[in-house]
Amino acid sequence: MNLTYGPEYEAFRAELQEFLRGWPLQGDEAKLPRNEQERLFRKRGIEAGYVYRSIPAEYGGAGRQSDPLYDRIIQEEYARTGAPGNRLNQGPGLLVPTLLDFGTEEQKRRFIPPTLAGEMQWCQGYSEPGSGSDLASLQTSARLDGDHWVINGQKIWTSNAREAHYMFGLFRTEPDAGKHAGISYLLVPMDAEGIDVRPLKQMTGSEEFNEVFFNDVHTPADHILGKRGEGWTISRATLRHERNLIGNPALMRQQFEMMLAIARRTERGGRPAIEEPGIRDRIAEVEGFVRCVETTNLRMLSAESRGEAMQVMLPMMMIKLYSTQVMERVASLAYDLLGGDGLLAPIVENDSIYDGSGTLRGGVHNFLYSMGPSIAGGASNIQRNIIGERGLGLPRDLRPSGG
């Protein structure tokens, strides 16, 4: 199997590496606040055609031809240098591709440019108490009253709800319709009267998750993606993008490199732990899994570039399940390397997610956080059902009546 990209793509990589030598910024630009530096370099990346590459220019992207192999090289090089590239949070990573597929022209022009620029933050309103894995059972209602939807109910596990300007979410608009047919996909301003956001403390020390309560909350009638009752179909498109983000091999490689840094720095018997045969065996085993994910991802990209994506549907279904398991293995090995020192890691309030550093705190944080992605975007048991039913053609799992 030839895993090289070929001369055309390696020339593109060299061109990109030259561009990335501009990060970190130098001179007076290095004195700007960090977020201003990132905004400035991201803007240069768009102008050069590397950031938001395939999003049309009229919506704030680079407007270049989509090519999955170029995209993969860009991911690799940006991850390697730590330069600010595509934001992979809920707005640019999940909502923007969904808007491109289902939004009206007015919605695209209004919401996509400020989202890409980082001026408009989003949260995802899917899960509810009692409606996690069985998402279609959600009960939060939206009733059309004149030129507004009136929303009542509760969402939970809503990431970054306190910082968000808008929520994209699922709401029951057709109470008399079937379970899946009665749902619509709405956009809701988070500063609307009647919204109450309450943070949930996580074991990492952060408060990324929140409960969101709706009490007669109004959002404009035209803040709906698709038609009434089409929300379930649209949500599956968003979930597909979410699973691709969670299974991102560049992120996995970044965490593996962090674990290696800990193995080189940690001493066992007066020698770096990475020189210990038992540790080397474990590292080799884990890297084997990492490379399996990377190779599978390359197979998918190659098939997509040839227009043969349907031939790799089964690996595409498996990549999220498998990659989250591998990331847990990587984080667990890093945590074992820290040993008793892990108990000395400082407790940090409002810790940020994905601390990719090889520090003591970063290693402990990543270990604790590694248990979450197997639940996000469809828990592993749900993924196994999807693989079995849609990928292998097995009989449907038993479901409660009405499912």
Q: Catalytic: which of 242, 275, 308, 389?
A: 242
DSSP 49: T
- Residue 199: phi and psi, rounded to 5, are -70, 155
CA distances from 147 to 18, 103, 152 (A): 52, 19, 17
Q: Within 10 Å of residue 127's Cβ, how many Cβ atoms? A: 20
DSSP alpha helix (H) spans, 170-312:
231-246, 249-265, 277-305
189 forms beta bridges with 166
Give the whole-angstrom CA distance, residue 173 versus residue 143: 6
* C-alpha to C-alpha distance for 249 and 252, rounded to whole angstroms: 5
Residues 6 or more apart whose CB falls under 8 angstroms from that of 285 comprise: none
| Cα distances (angstroms) measured from residue 89 to each of 110, 121, 225, 269 | 19, 9, 20, 42
Cβ count near 335 (within 10 Å): 18
Query: C-alpha angle 75/165/44, rounded to 5°?
Result: 35
- b or e along 4-35 (b: 16 or more beta carbons within 10 Å of the residue's beta carbon)? ebeeeeeebeeebeebbeebebeeeeeeeeee
- Which helix (H) or strand (E) element contains residue 102? helix 96-102
Contact 41, 25 (CB under 8 A): yes
Any catalytic annotation for residue 242? yes
The set of catalytic residues is 242
